[in-house]
Amino acid sequence: MLYVAGSWLASRVLSERLLSARGLGPSPDHYEDLLGALESNATVVANLRHKGSPRLPVELSSTFASPGEPETRPTILFLHGKGGNASEWVLDALRALALGYNVLIPDLRGHGRSGGTIFTLGFLEKDDLALTVAAARDGFGLDPDRLGIHSCSAGSTVALEFAADRPGVRAMWLESPFADLFTMARHYLSRATGVPAPLLDLTTRWAIRHAIGRIRRELGLDGSREGLERVDPVAAVSRVTSPVLLVHGTEDRLVPPHFTERLAAALPPHSAVWNVNGAGHCHHADEPEATAKLAYARKWEEFFRNYLPA
């Protein structure tokens, strides 16, 4: 009984950790570097601020940049993971601009310069992103039917929720994604607490239940079947129509490679999986972009040129 009571109390605390924008390490803040790099390499650079999902409105921030005549170009969305922010994408944004793409780099709700206190893995963020795209369309003529996505970690779950049933997304580069929310949550809480994952089964299930309950209360969803429990990366990817390139480091400890197996099995036609030998997690020192620099740049350019020609 004491163990069960302790697990129940611990799960209430850990549910807040799951919902927060906090990552396992400190969040970098390189916004000045991002803006400086964009201003030196783009004709149009702007910060967009607008309201997010009307289900739980917050003020959102994103950065838009273009080589010029943005209405004539496709756009690549860059989506960071839990605990990240837009300023992580300097090198990737510059690559995209050099190849002739617009770039749109949001801070997801609760992260960076965006408001909010909870992160819902795409449940609210898919609406936020639709509004971000609409803001760039209204301000700069962005074409919502010519979109690509490059995502990192939990940002890939957001990307899949957004892209499902959205034919305007033409190409998706998913890096360090995961297929199952429970498995990922248990692993994340294990790394956060130091408790072995097999000992956290019950606590993780209760933590997820608490997280779902909090979101439902905040959104007034009592009695509704809609909620965070409906977020399912495998179900979402089955509704994606664009090609996907799934990229994973073989030495990724934050999202172990076997966490992607069910996702890889459900990819749409013309998709591919690239397991990068010796690489770790995206946006870490040993990420695939750093450990396989030349191959990474070549594959990235080939993939987007093939499916989202500039």
Q: Give the span between the Cα atoms of 87 and 245, in whole angstroms.
A: 23
What beta strand segments (E) does 97-243 contain? 102-107, 147-152, 169-175
Give the range among 46-50, 99-103, 208-212 with minimum mean pLDDT. 208-212
pTM above 0.85, yes or no: yes
Residue 26 has pLDDT above 80, yes or no: no
Domains by residue range for the chain, with CATH: 30-181+239-307 (3.40.50.1820)
Which pLDDT band, with edges at 50, 70 and 90, does 3 fall under? very low
Residue 53 has pLDDT above 90, yes or no: yes
- At residue 9, the pLDDT reads 58
Helices (H), 171-273: 181-193, 201-219, 233-237, 261-265
- At residue 1, the pLDDT reads 38
pLDDT digits (tens, 9 = 90+) for 194-244: 999 999 999 999 999 888 888 888 888 765 666 677 899 999 999 999 999
Reduce the DSSP state of residue 164 to 3 states and report it: coil
- At residue 25, the pLDDT reads 79
What beta strand segments (E) does the chain contain? 44-51, 59-66, 75-79, 102-107, 147-152, 169-175, 244-249, 272-276
pLDDT digits (tens, 9 = 90+) for 74-94: 999 999 999 999 999 999 999
Q: What are phi and psi of 283, to 5 degrees?
A: 65, 25
Q: Give the span between the Cα atoms of 156 and 162, in whole angstroms.
A: 10
pLDDT digits (tens, 9 = 90+) for 137-192: 999 999 999 999 999 999 999 999 999 999 999 999 999 999 999 999 999 999 99
How many Cβ atoms sit within 10 Å of the Cβ of residue 220?
10
Return the HEC string of 28-52. CCCHHHHHHHHHHHCCEEEEEEEEC
* Contact by Cβ (8 Å): 75, 104: yes
Residue 30 has pLDDT above 80, yes or no: yes
- At residue 14, the pLDDT reads 87
